[in-house]
Amino acid sequence: MNINIEIEKARAFYYMFFSKLLTFTYDENRFSDVKEMAKLIYENPLDELSKNAAKNLTDNFDEEKLKTEYDDIFYDLTNDPVPTTASFYLEEMENGKMRVKMVDIVLSSKFRKRKDYKDLEDDIGFILPFMNHLILASLEGDKKSQYLQKKTYDVLNLFIDDFIENLYLHTASNLYKNVAVILKSFIETERIYFEKPKPKIEKIEKKECEICIADKEAAIRKANKKKKADKALVCNLEEGGDVEDEV
């Protein structure tokens, strides 16, 4: 794949934008650049829908409301928190085959998950910054990172539509509805970039009671992971092929 530097920089920008909004961290300044980034998206939109969403996000931007929405959407056990891992969407369980696949991809790269980062490798909050790192490494001439982008995108492409739908429809989603719209537009451009359309996935059908139990267990695990985090998580990745991966 021939690299167009401007396109790659734009892709890296979008992945960083979504990382700031969808990766868990205790950093109080995590949303500090989001309004300015949303304004740039509005000024250089992918389509009319993302333009309108970026304008809404910019015009109504409020860091405290964004933080509250984030917690309500992803961690409020009383309000059906949105699942964030590929394994959950595809296998209705955590630590599934998709996590194994992402671990293999990460170990094939020059990056390693930071020891203080608690979420899994197939979590949306890990995949987004990981893609950003791979793109930036590709711009520096790392051909393997360019190849690993494709492998990572293959995982992301399998569950991102369901994630976006859940994010948009969640009862606590207000500002985050705009994030969902922008993310959907971006994913459509990524499908053109990688020449890989939206996949057709046959989901496993389960009895209603089994689904309720699985959802409840996943929500509890997600909340517990948040409580265990004891440091601010900024980029969540670090370079070094011999750094041991820890979960």
Please check the confidence at residue 156 and state whether its pLDDT lies above 60.
yes
State how far the alpha carbon of 99 is from the alpha carbons of 18, 189, 222, in Å.
20, 25, 15
Q: What percentage of residues in the chain have a pLDDT greater than 90?
A: 72
Query: What pLDDT shows up at residue 59?
Result: 98
Q: Which of 16-20, 137-141, 243-247 has the lowest mean pLDDT?
A: 243-247
User: With bands split at pLDDT 50, 70 and 90, how would you rate the model's confidence at 247?
Assistant: very low
Q: Where are the domains of the chain?
A: 5-237
Please answer whether residues 50 and 41 qualify as being in contact, where contact means their C-beta atoms are separated by less than 8 angstroms: yes
First-to-last C-alpha distance (Å) of the chain: 33
Query: What pLDDT shows up at residue 246?
Result: 35
Q: Give the strand pairing for 237-239 and 111-113.
A: antiparallel
Specify the DSSP element, H or E, that contains 113.
strand 111-113
When the candidates are 1.10.3480, 2.60.40, 1.10.3470, 1.20.120, the CATH number that belongs to 5-237 is 1.10.3480
pLDDT digits (tens, 9 = 90+) for 181-235: 999 999 999 999 999 999 887 654 444 444 444 555 555 555 555 544 433 333 4
pLDDT digits (tens, 9 = 90+) for 54-85: 999 999 999 999 999 999 999 999 999 999 99
Q: Residues 123, 135, 19, 227: what is their CA dihedral angle, to the nearest 10 degrees? A: 40
Distance CA 221, CA 67 (A): 20
Query: What pLDDT shows up at residue 27?
Result: 85
For residue 145, give both structure tokens: 């990172």
Q: Could you tell me which residues come within 8 angstroms of residue 64 by beta carbon, excluding any fewer than 6 positions away?
A: none
Rounded to two decimals, the pTM is 0.82
Please answer whether residues 114 and 237 qualify as being in contact, where contact means their C-beta atoms are separated by less than 8 angstroms: yes
User: With bands split at pLDDT 50, 70 and 90, how would you rate the model's confidence at 108?
Assistant: very high
Please answer whether residues 21 and 193 qualify as being in contact, where contact means their C-beta atoms are separated by less than 8 angstroms: no
Mean pLDDT (whole number) for 145-150: 96
Mean pLDDT (whole number) for 152-177: 98
Q: Please, is 104 exposed, middle or buried when counting C-beta atoms within 10 Å of its C-beta (0-12, 13-18, 19+)?
A: exposed
Mean pLDDT (whole number) for 17-33: 91
